Structure 1
């Protein structure tokens, strides 16, 4: 059996008295495209942040490429590059698009500025935005900002190929976008995987995004993994939570909270 890229073992996370993740186990394997789904507030984004090393769990163990993580990502050198695309793109408003995409290299490499600019332009062309290097985030549409954040997530130092992201984390990449813009983003997710290889995990509520970008689905509710399976199995499973979620019904075991 192939060793997981990421493994959760008994991961628990609470905020105050609210238990978000309750002793969950989860494996992500090389080459996988996984969607983490479920109602709002069930720990999907928290799971991503724990994988990214931005948030430590309260208890349990996280293994990255078979190595146990101690603390958060900045506390150690990990044998797995991880890139993250945040829900709101999280671009620096005071920086140009080029400065945003090349931020990591400008701050943490010895590459010459001209070389960084060339690398940034390659990434922007990759996401279909070749002519916006000098624009600011406020001048872009929501879908364009998302694509810029994708370009930033896959940026890597060519002098350190070991830092190339092997795992991309997407937090609601199509949230708030119209159907056409969503399709552009969904196609881009798949194209980036084909170009760069690697795996990705996506948190999403959108039916089309789940079906067009995922190979495997993990359903979270009440802090537990309630179901997981291949994406085509969401239409045939007898799991009442999955059936309720995809039918958008208010009747079923998922409680309507607002």
Structure 2
């Protein structure tokens, strides 16, 4: 029996002014999948991720979330499953403590008592390897620590309302700007959270970093000139004849990908 996708994108197009960003994107995301979207800068990867998240509406095309057609943005009507997003720059509130950042959704949308929220925050911080920092502010943390705090916020769930419990996490360049060791910590964390019983097991990631792509992807799609030009398993990267993929991973300036100076 075939597995039904959690998310379906059908004929998705997006322009910014006269510039075409996405052109007739067809993509399914399945339960338990680790999907990484790759491609050169400006290919539309982050735009696609924001459309999946419901933060940006496509110009044309349809989005189905667990079989239900999404109309408008996530703020207009809640999806049938929870979708969390980890932003490239962590997007933490500088004026709030770590605890207030991680528990932000619960403070805003639940009636849980303060003590229960604090307990849940500590549990999530423990899961990302940051116990005992809930009183600190983002400015006191390293870049890698801020990334992990944003992970803790993304996996926060509400025990009294399953509608707010994430089934899919979207990662936008989670290792950007980190040194190789910090990147490895984040890559390992992504996989560990996927395998944790109490955390959602499906994620979609945008990444440029080869180590991150190879260590976190099961399936890879290559986006270029507004379209998906190639897709395959992560191990297919080394055997594909696709010239775009070969140029991307060889970092060559010679090939079909135009070099922007």
Please tell me the TM-score bracket, short chain as reference: over 0.9
TM-score scaled to structure 2, two decimals? 0.98
> How much has 1:197 moved relative to structure 2?
3.8
Distance in structure 2 (CA, Å) of the matches to 1:17 and 1:190: 39
1:190-209 matched pairs, under 5 angstroms: 190-195=191-196, 196-209=199-212
How many residue pairs are counted as aligned between the two chains? Answer: 258
The answer to whether residue 37 in structure 2 is matched with residue 48 in structure 1 is: no
**2:248 maps to which of 245, 249, 258:** 245
Q: Which runs of 4+ in 1 moved over 6 A?
A: none
> How much has 1:220 moved relative to structure 2?
0.1
> How much has 1:78 moved relative to structure 2?
1.6
TM-score scaled to structure 1, two decimals? 0.99
Secondary structure in 2 aligned to 1:23?
strand
Secondary structure in 2 aligned to 1:73?
coil
- Unpaired segments ≥5 residues, structure 1: none
1:61 corresponds in structure 2 to 62
**2:217 maps to which of 198, 214, 221:** 214
1:187 corresponds in structure 2 to 188
Cα pair 1:165 1:198 within 8 Å, conserved: no
1:2 corresponds in structure 2 to 3
1:112 corresponds in structure 2 to 113
Distance in structure 2 (CA, Å) of the matches to 1:197 and 1:51: 16
Distance in structure 2 (CA, Å) of the matches to 1:158 and 1:197: 14
Distance in structure 1 (CA, Å) of the matches to 2:14 and 2:173: 21
Distance in structure 2 (CA, Å) of the matches to 1:27 and 1:161: 24
Secondary structure in 1 aligned to 2:47?
helix
> How much has 1:162 moved relative to structure 2?
3.8
> How much has 1:87 moved relative to structure 2?
0.1
> How much has 1:210 moved relative to structure 2?
0.4
Q: Which shows bigger deviation, 72-81 or 210-219?
A: 72-81
1:227-246 matched pairs, under 5 angstroms: 227-246=230-249
Distance in structure 2 (CA, Å) of the matches to 1:248 and 1:61: 35
**2:226 maps to which of 204, 223, 227:** 223
> How much has 1:75 moved relative to structure 2?
1.1
Distance in structure 1 (CA, Å) of the matches to 2:19 and 2:143: 32
Q: CA RMSD in A?
A: 0.7
Distance in structure 2 (CA, Å) of the matches to 1:80 and 1:18: 32
> How much has 1:198 moved relative to structure 2?
2.4
1:128 corresponds in structure 2 to 129
Cα pair 1:95 1:136 within 8 Å, conserved: yes
> How much has 1:3 moved relative to structure 2?
1.3
- Unpaired segments ≥5 residues, structure 2: none
